[in-house]
Amino acid sequence: MNLEELKIDDLTKYVEIKISEFEEKKIKMQAGIDYYHYRHAIDEKKRAILGQNGKIISMRNLPNTIIKDNQYSRSLDQKRNYVLSRKPNINSKNKEAVKYLDDFVDKRFMRTLNRIAIDSYNTSIGWMYLSTDGKDIKYKRLDPMTVIPEWSDDNHESLDAVIRVVTETEFENGKLEVKTYVYLYTLNFIKVFDYKDGRLKYLKDEQYLEKDGTMYSYKKLPFVYFKQPNEITLLERVRCLQDALNLLLSNYADNLFENPMNSILVLKNYEGEDLAEFREKLAQYSAIKVRTADGSQGGVDTLEVTVNAENYKVIIELIKKAIAHNARSLYLDNDRTSNAPNTLNIKAMYSDMELDANDLELEFAASFEYLFSWISEIISIDFSDVNVNFKRSIMVNDESTIDMIRDSVGIISEETLIAEHPFVENVNEEMKRIEKEKEKSLEYFDDYKDLGGEGHDHQLLGSENRKIK
């Protein structure tokens, strides 16, 4: 659908519908954000019993422990750091392109990209907005909860337009007021609406750029998306497991804090109440009343209620392992990590994470292609053959890696060996250092200009006779 051809009334109605449809998706997106920031379903936990007439009664006198072991957040950070903790390698035959991108993809850019990656895992998609003043390229992260994409294809690979819902605080009539605006971005214009009570009111048109009174637009939409494969949030894979883990830990703590009540008093030959009241009193006082056949023996006995810690321990460990497997993150198996792990064990531990990282790298590489093509329209540099390769942050046995590098000398290039060395952060800088050391070594030999002795008209090691190829 070409939104630019719609009349303003139809366009306004269309945007209202899209905002309404997006509300359902925002629920899933917000859940991922909440769980990452330790806002879990266990927060609603209460101690309650079934009272009279089937009524749920909250028992405030009982321990109500809330424990969160946020394996979801841990898995997300593991996966993000595995791929994006280090600056990627940028390769191209065009040296001008490599130099520009090497400066552009700096630490600030990587920090922004990491925040966008967190959005991508939490909400299934992250957004970067691009702009320029005609000289420098600027970028910023956008809150995915405010961005509504209008896709041009079923595979969600190309954008027709983007809708942004933005809340702003304005000083008006002597006080601060919160107002909501909606921006519709198409290739040729930006339409601005006032948004109140679910209704839009058209305000004005804006342009992307203005210079000397002339309005300009970009050749491509200045929005770069960073999607998850299949647009599935990470939380959807592990939410039930994370909730179960929190509940088990919380219930176990409740049982421990109830230690004085682990003994239930048995009152013999005392009249009881109805069943609903019995359940309530048992939870409240940890005592029950029984009656013997002849009713002659009165007294007080105890029933011991034992909390089996080993059962909890086994189940909790199984759930943690299941979370790691379903999230495709790293599970540290004690059998493999107790001693110095060999290369095979390390690869096995990272196998699930590596498979998932390959899918993510493919998605992000496509996003980088769009980013570079947008930049090329502004600065006129050809980025068509640029390749971005993300470096993995993997636990390695450095000694084994160095041995393999040493054994590979003469088989593969020196640059490749240097790139794989665990002590090297910047390959180009390291190559320059090595070259500088070689030059110093040659200068040392150049100091001996004549070692031939008297009567000889040649210089064995002098620089004048030595040719360096």
What is the tens place of the pLDDT at every residue in 274-301?
A: 655 665 666 666 666 666 666 556 555 6
Backbone angles phi, psi at 405, to 5 degrees: -65, -45
Residue 318 CA to chain centroid, in angstroms? 24
Say how many domains are in the chain: 1
Which range of 124-128, 130-134, 332-336 scores highest in mean pLDDT? It is 124-128
In sequence order, what are the beta bridge partners of 176? 171
Mean pLDDT, to the nearest integer, of 58-78? 92
300 three-state secondary structure? strand
Instruction: Print the domain residue range for 297.
Output: 263-305
* Band of residue 216 on the pLDDT scale cut at 50, 70, 90: confident
Q: Give how far Cα 382 sits from Cα of 87, 90, 105, 302, 373, Å.
A: 21, 14, 16, 83, 8
pLDDT at 49 over 90: no
pLDDT at 458: 47
* Helices H / strands E in the chain, number of each: 13, 17
Structural domain contains residue 184: no
Sign of CA dihedral 16, 20, 21, 27: positive
Do residues 374 and 138 lie in contact, with contact meaning Cβ atoms separated by under 8 Å? no
Distance of CA 229 to the CA centre of its chain: 13
In this structure, are residues 321 and 297 in contact, taking their beta carbons and an 8 Å threshold? Answer: no
| Domain assignment of residue 224, yes or no | no
Output the pLDDT for position 131.
Answer: 94
- 10 Å Cβ neighbour count for 288? 15
Q: Considering the chain, what percentage of its residues have pLDDT values greater than 90?
A: 50
* Burial (0-12, 13-18, 19+ Cβ within 10 Å), 224: buried
Q: Is residue 220 in some structural domain?
A: no
Going by pLDDT thresholds of 50, 70 and 90, the confidence category of residue 62 is: confident
Residue 193 DSSP code: E
**HSE (CB half, 13 Å, CA atoms) of 302?**
7
Q: Which helix (H) or strand (E) holds 293?
A: none
Question: At residue 349, what is the residue type?
Answer: M
Query: How many Cβ atoms are within 10 Å of 246's Cβ, its own excluded?
Result: 22
Interatomic CA distance for residues 18 and 27, integer angstroms: 15
For residue 195, tell me if it sits in a domain.
no
Does 285 map to a domain? yes
Q: Is residue 274 part of a domain?
A: yes
Q: Report pLDDT for 162.
A: 97
Overall average pLDDT of the 63-75 stretch: 95
The angle formed by the CA atoms of residues 34, 40 and 41, to the nearest 5 degrees, is 125
30 found inside a domain: no
Stretch 77-106: mean pLDDT: 92
- pLDDT category, 89, cuts 50, 70, 90? confident
pLDDT tens for each residue of 225-267: 999 988 999 999 999 999 999 999 999 998 888 755 555 555 5
Inside any domain, residue 370: no
Task: Answer with the residue of higher pLDDT: 8 or 215.
Answer: 8
Between 50 and 126, name the one with better pLDDT: 126
Whole-model pTM? 0.79
pLDDT number for residue 301: 60
Least confident interval from 166-170, 260-264, 307-311:
260-264
The pLDDT assigned to 362 comes to 94
Mean pLDDT lowest among 115-129, 248-262, 326-340:
326-340
> In one letter, which amino acid is 107?
K
Residues 393-443 have pLDDT tens digits of 876 656 667 888 888 888 888 888 888 787 887 777 888 888 888 888 777
